């Protein structure tokens, strides 16, 4: 399979000053993230614009020609076209639940507490160093994880793999996931995969083809398949962050 190509404009750069926050009256608590670039995208169904505050758990979506780039402290996230995700903030922790599409990420190597969830798979970058990577939901039964800078651990059921720098894995969980229209998971409840956890109440589990042809004894390690990484993801939005030379906490001023 091929990684989804993000459609972010390569000429965009960050503002040097702080981004003004447009607080949503219906929300409570302080927003943990803000939009940096917003094009044909929505936040809880409302058109997103650069500078919009993003509160914990809000639904972020991009249209087929859209893009949304946000900053949560020193964590940067880019949602590609046709994507849907929620970002939860609990204290200094950032949890990202990806329903569909591709999310790219970067961290500044300050031991940021960030985790990604998709199809009941957990992805945790090693943020003791700067990281760059992406998680791509290919279908209800398949996702891919790539690490262009640094490493990330990927856990599906009871199997865990480390995605090394410049490497990528396809992951085919035993059960697929079909999200409800009003899906709203609770990452704080994300356990070591008991199926009765409240986390799973936001979606339905479906049978995947892989589960039909593999026995339970052989499913574990075979859920992971090493694939060719998609270069350094330049031209796909990561390049505009210039994260190879700049800290996410110090956006470009040009």
| Residue with the two structure tokens 């990927």 | 154
Residue 163 has pLDDT above 90, yes or no: yes
Q: Which domain holds residue 165?
A: 33-241
* Total number of residues shown for the chain: 254
What's the distance, CA 83 to chain centroid?
A: 10
Is 17 within a domain? Answer: no
Is 251 within a domain? Answer: no
CATH number at residue 144: 2.60.120.1440
Is 186 within a domain? Answer: yes
Is 246 within a domain? Answer: no
Q: Give the C-alpha separation, 139 to 217, whole Å.
A: 24
Q: What is the DSSP letter of 232?
A: T
Percent of the chain with pLDDT over 70: 70
Largest pairwise CA distance in the chain: 56
Is 13 within a domain? Answer: no
pTM here is 0.78
Interval 99-108 mean pLDDT: 94
Q: Which residues contact 189 (CB under 8 A, 6 or more apart)?
A: 197, 198, 199
pLDDT band at 199 (very low <50, low <70, confident <90, very high): confident
Is 8 within a domain? Answer: no
Is 221 within a domain? Answer: yes
Is the pLDDT higher at 232 or at 29?
Answer: 29
Provide the mean pLDDT of the chain: 76
Is 88 within a domain? Answer: yes
Domain count, the chain: 1
């Amino acid at each position: 399979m091929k990684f989804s190509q993000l459609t972010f404009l390569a000429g965009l750069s960050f503002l040097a000053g702080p981004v003004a926050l447009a607080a949503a009256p219906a929300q409570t608590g302080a927003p943990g993230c803000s939009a940096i670039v917003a094009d044909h995208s929505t936040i809880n169904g409302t058109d997103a614009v650069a500078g919009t505050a993003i509160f914990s758990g809000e639904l972020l979506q991009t249209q087929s020609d859209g893009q949304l780039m946000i900053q949560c402290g020193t964590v940067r996230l880019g949602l590609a076209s046709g994507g849907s995700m929620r970002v939860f903030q609990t204290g200094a922790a950032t949890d990202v639940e990806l329903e569909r599409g591709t999310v790219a990420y970067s961290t500044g190597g300050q031991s940021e507490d960030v985790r990604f969830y998709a199809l009941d798979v957990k992805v945790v970058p090693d943020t003791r160093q700067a990281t760059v990577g992406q998680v791509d939901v290919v279908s209800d039964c398949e996702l891919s994880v790539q690490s262009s800078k640094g490493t990330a651990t990927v856990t599906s059921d009871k199997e865990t793999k480390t995605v090394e720098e410049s490497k990528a894995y396809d992951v085919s969980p035993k059960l697929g996931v079909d999200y409800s229209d009003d899906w709203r998971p609770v990452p704080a409840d994300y356990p070591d995969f008991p199926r009765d956890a409240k986390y799973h109440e936001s979606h339905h589990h479906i049978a995947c083809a892989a589960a039909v042809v593999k026995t339970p004894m052989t499913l574990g390690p075979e859920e992971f398949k090493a694939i060719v990484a998609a270069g350094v993801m330049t031209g796909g939005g990561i390049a505009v962050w210039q994260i190879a030379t700049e800290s996410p906490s110090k956006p470009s001023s040009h």
